[in-house]
Amino acid sequence: MPQATPKRRKPSKALDKAARQVKDADDFVEHIGNIADRYRREHALDMGPRGKTMKQAINAFRKHSTALAAWLQQAHKENQSAPEHDALDKISIVLHGAPGLAYAQSKDVESWLARAGKAADKSIADDKRRPRNAGRTAPRVAADGLRATFEHHKLKFSTQVGKTTQSDPVRLLCAIAKHAGDAAMTPQIAKQALIDSGNGRKIRPAQS
């Protein structure tokens, strides 16, 4: 039996109005609504308990991956008197019926753990350096979506912020954040997120 498609939350009147001020077309409003849905989910990860537990999980991975990589490094040393080497042979016998056959596989695991450990370190360091109200995932994801959607609809994409006026993408990103309950968004943060989106990988406009 096919699963029911999750029901999307209808954009608020304020978000619908902001979108139609840019382009009064149902498909454009739908794309903006889809970006707003994604923003709300990412914002919950940024600020809620799930985001905190994710960070704890990254720290746990780094701790255990470091220990396992060190263990494998000892097992791979040419000096075969290391207890880790004997343990790896024992494991190999159970897995493959002969000692030594797990050696090549575990070398690949050690290499992967080294790369993944560096990636985890970078994630942890980036999070520590990140200002509280800037650099979060939700604004970046929404900015990518807005850039792609504006290109798809052949609309002018600008990041200008004046004393009393903002460009359409900036206004929409602020409206999307407000729709998601993100009180930390400002035109300046929106502008920077939109600028940064031009430096990353382009994505497709949000679809239903």
List the pLDDT tens digit at each of the 208 positions of the chain.
444 444 556 778 999 999 999 999 999 999 999 999 999 888 887 776 666 787 789 999 999 999 999 999 999 988 778 899 999 999 999 999 998 899 889 999 999 999 999 999 988 887 776 554 444 789 999 999 999 999 999 999 999 999 889 999 999 999 999 998 888 899 999 999 999 888 754 434 444 3
Residue 181, pLDDT score: 87
Residue 48, pLDDT score: 63
Residue 12, pLDDT score: 84
Residue in this structure with the two tokens 């052949």, named with its chain if needed: 154
Residue 182, pLDDT score: 87
Residue 152, pLDDT score: 95
Cβ atoms of residues 117 and 65 within 8 Å? yes
Whole-prediction pTM:
0.54
Residue 8, pLDDT score: 57
Residue 19, pLDDT score: 95
pLDDT tens per residue across span 55-81:
789 999 999 999 999 999 999 988 778
Residue 50, pLDDT score: 61
Residue 112, pLDDT score: 95
Residue 43, pLDDT score: 87
